[in-house]
């Protein structure tokens, strides 16, 4: 098999890892700074301990959560042997210990979600995605989600969200404390800590922007990982283009393309993702994972899935 350009692929992985480390470091610094401003070294300790506590108690994205939020339904191997075979092949190429459990979300919008981690991987796909993408493009999207699982992206983003929540909590406590302190300080002619106040007001915004940056970085890394797994960046490029035509992303849907809007996106723009994938494109005679069009899913209207939803059963040839 002709691999992707190893130098280009290594450069993409290195850039994404460095950006991830920088963003996590920035989140930690903002959290520690606010903790220090509020309570000195004790505030820093509270921040670290609180982050660890939040990681323990906040719900992680799991199969049960996907079922509760989206009405996701389990898909058995007997119902979708082709889809299961494709997913298992991609998971094996990615080095996962076990293939992901597949869930079906009866919604029309094209989307795929990953949950769990390497130990208990789960991938959920919507009815809209299965009906929209041919086999090659569907395989690329599955590889993207498998790449998220392989790299532990859900755990990374949970860490960032926990640090952001602690930063916001500490900043709120600090601003409230200063609000109580300022009248008495002004009456006594004491100096108002304007710099500390501004830093605590800016900390939640900075944390949110860094978390969004982290999410976009992990999407780029999942794209690179998908191309590495399949050896076929063109497949994911085609899938992204199809989904963009059917369902444009946030700001593009409203016809807005200003560059500063990229700061508040959870995902990079489709054009950015395609441009990076194009850099990975191998020579024209490369080989890729065989994903025949026969894997294209259909809904069997004559078969009903048991349960309260009364949705058509899923059959993938």
Give residue-wise pLDDT tens across range 211-270: 999 999 999 999 999 999 999 999 999 999 999 998 766 555 555 555 667 788 899 999
Compute the chain's Rg from CA coordinates: 23
- Of 36-50, 177-191, 206-220, give the range with the top mean pLDDT: 206-220
Write out pLDDT tens, residues 163-182. Answer: 999 999 999 999 998 888 77
**Residue that wins the pLDDT comparison between 17 and 1:** 17
Range name among 129-133, 193-197, 213-217 with the lowest pLDDT average? 193-197
What number of CA atoms fall less than 13 Å from residue 2's CA on the CB side?
10
Phi, psi of 72 (to 5 degrees): -65, 140
> What pLDDT does residue 289 have?
61
Closest CA to 31 of 197, 172, 203: 203
Summarize pLDDT for 268-295 with one digit per residue, the tens.
999 999 999 999 986 665 555 656 554 5
For β-strands 73-74 and 101-105, DSSP reports them as antiparallel
β-pairing, 122-126 vs 101-105, is parallel
Indicate whether 42 pLDDT > 60. Answer: yes
d(CA 167, CA 131): 42
Lowest mean pLDDT among 24-28, 30-34, 87-91, 252-256: 252-256
The CA distance from 204 to 214, in Å, is: 15
* Burial zone of 223 (CB within 10 Å; 0-12 exposed, 13-18 middle, 19+ buried): buried
- Asked if residue 232 lies in contact with residue 277, where contact means CB atoms within 8 angstroms, the answer is no
pTM of the model: 0.86
Residue pair 92/150 in contact by the 8 Å Cβ criterion: no
47-93 pLDDT tens trace: 999 999 988 887 777 888 899 889 999 998 899 999 999 999 999 99
Residue spans per domain, the chain: 6-316
Q: Residue 177 and residue 3: Cα distance in Å, rounded?
A: 59
User: What pLDDT sits at residue 304?
Assistant: 42
d(CA 268, CA 245): 16
Beta bridge partners of 73: 104
Confidence of residue 194 (pLDDT cuts 50, 70, 90): confident
Query: What value does the mean pLDDT take over residues 105-115?
Result: 95
């Amino acid at each position: 098999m002709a691999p992707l350009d190893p130098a280009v692929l290594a450069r993409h992985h290195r850039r994404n890892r460095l950006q991830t480390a920088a963003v996590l470091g920035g989140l930690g610094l903002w959290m520690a700074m606010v903790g220090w401003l509020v309570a000195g070294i004790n505030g820093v300790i509270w921040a670290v301990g609180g982050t660890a506590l939040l990681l323990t108690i906040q719900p992680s994205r799991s199969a049960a959560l996907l079922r509760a939020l989206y009405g996701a339904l389990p898909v058995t191997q007997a119902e979708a042997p082709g889809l299961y075979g494709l997913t298992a092949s991609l998971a094996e190429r990615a080095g996962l210990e076990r293939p992901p459990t597949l869930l079906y979300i009866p919604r029309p919008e094209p989307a795929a979600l990953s949950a769990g981690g390497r130990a208990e991987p789960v991938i959920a796909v919507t009815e809209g995605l299965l009906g929209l993408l041919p086999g090659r493009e569907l395989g690329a999207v599955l590889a993207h989600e498998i790449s998220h699982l392989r790299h532990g992206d859900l755990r990374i983003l949970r860490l960032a969200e926990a640090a952001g929540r602690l930063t916001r909590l500490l900043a709120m406590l600090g601003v409230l404390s200063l609000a109580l302190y300022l009248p008495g300080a002004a009456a006594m002619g004491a100096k108002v800590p304007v710099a500390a106040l501004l830093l605590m007001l800016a900390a939640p915004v900075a944390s949110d922007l860094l978390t969004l940056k982290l999410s976009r970085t992990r999407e780029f890394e999942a794209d690179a990982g998908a191309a590495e797994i399949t050896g076929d960046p063109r497949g994911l490029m085609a899938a992204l283009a199809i989904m963009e035509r059917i369902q444009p992303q946030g700001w593009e849907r409203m016809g807005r393309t200003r560059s500063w809007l990229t700061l508040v996106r959870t995902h990079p723009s489709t054009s950015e993702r395609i441009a990076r994938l194009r850099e990975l494109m191998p020579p024209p005679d490369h080989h890729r994972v065989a994903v025949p069009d026969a894997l294209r899913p259909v809904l069997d209207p004559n078969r009903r899935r048991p349960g309260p939803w009364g949705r058509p059963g899923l059959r993938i040839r």
